[in-house]
Amino acid sequence: MTRRAAPVDPRPASSVLLVRPGEARPLEVYLIRRQKSMRFLGGYYAFPGGKVDASDATGSAFARCRGLEPAAAARCFPERDGVPPLAFWVTAARELLEETGILAASDGEGRPIPVTDPGVRSRVEEMRRRLMADETSFPALLEGEDWYLDLAPFHYLSHFITPPSSPIRFTARFFLAPLPEGQAPRLFTEETSEGFWIDPAEGVKRYESGDMPMAEPAESALRYLSGFESLAAVWRAHGDRRHKFHGVVDDYDPPGAWDSPERRHPMTS
């Protein structure tokens, strides 16, 4: 009998469900399609996101955060594997910038940065370029501009862990965030081949028809959002900052692989 290799450890990650009011529908959410060449879920539709970088979990990163204290983040879910909970919010904001060009930030006086100003917009674009080129860290870029992340609008939504049968695994926290005023997502092709707004119910239909391949987190989130009658109802339901659903069931776990209570219910916070 061939023994299965031990599961790889999941890496901490964050994803963002960027939402806005729909024109003919209650709300819309921004989806991307991952480049088919990517090792993890290549060609799949998903939400902007990625793994937690070491610099996301530092004191210099947290010093650049406004709207959410480390203690408040820790009340949403506990620290695990040495990653402070607030780091997941930092990652969410960074990945949103890297994959959509949107920066949720304010100046030292708490005012939103004026991204409609061409000079400010070019500085944001340069920040994104330097991040993607791995020239420096996100906290260093924010400090250089004297900008602060505005994390108050990021509402914790859910937790998913890639099943043990996967050779690449993530323990991902998902967040809801409104589209910042004056900004619009853009398509950058380093990692994505498509980017578009979609009614959640339409996304579910396209998934079920086989038109849009998705992993469970994206499918579950679209189904969840499709149950709300308005974007205002979404925000009312998430004022408590508690996670709303979780999942990923691996049908191929060997007997005994999930012996501890936490391993049997890996999505609980």
| Helix runs in 38-182, H state only | 59-62, 70-76, 86-100, 118-132, 138-145
Domain of 33 in residue numbering reads as 11-264
Number of domains comprising the chain? 1
What is the DSSP secondary structure assignment for residue 9, as one 8-state letter? P
Does some domain include residue 180? Answer: yes
Residue 50 lies in a domain: yes
Report if residue 1 sits inside a domain: no
User: What pTM was computed for the model?
Assistant: 0.89
Q: Which residues contact 62 (CB under 8 A, 6 or more apart)?
A: 70, 84, 86, 90
Q: Is 174 exposed, middle or buried (0-12, 13-18, 19+ CB in 10 A)?
A: buried
The CATH number of the domain holding residue 69 is 3.90.79.10
Q: Does some domain include residue 166?
A: yes
In a domain, residue 269? The reply is no
Instruction: State the DSSP H helix or E strand holding residue 20, giving kind and residue range, or none if neither.
Output: strand 11-21
C-alpha 170/C-alpha 161 separation (Å) is: 6
Helix 138-145, helix 118-132: angle, nearest 10: 160
- What secondary structure letter does DSSP report for 52? P
Whether 2 is covered by a domain: the verdict is no
Q: pLDDT tens string for the chain (269 positions)?
A: 555 667 888 999 999 999 999 888 889 999 999 988 887 777 899 999 999 999 999 999 999 999 999 999 999 999 988 999 999 999 999 999 999 999 999 999 999 999 999 999 999 999 999 999 999 999 999 999 999 999 999 999 999 998 888 888 899 999 999 999 999 999 998 988 999 999 999 999 999 999 999 998 999 999 999 999 999 999 999 887 777 766 654 333 333 332 223 332 333 33
Cα–Cα distance measured from residue 30 to residue 200, given in angstroms and rounded to the nearest whole number: 9
- Tell me, yes or no, whether 45 lies in a domain: yes
CA distances (Å), 173 to each of 23, 137, 206, 247, 265, in order?
29, 21, 24, 12, 15
Position 215 in a domain: yes
152 and 257 in contact (C-beta within 8 Å)? no
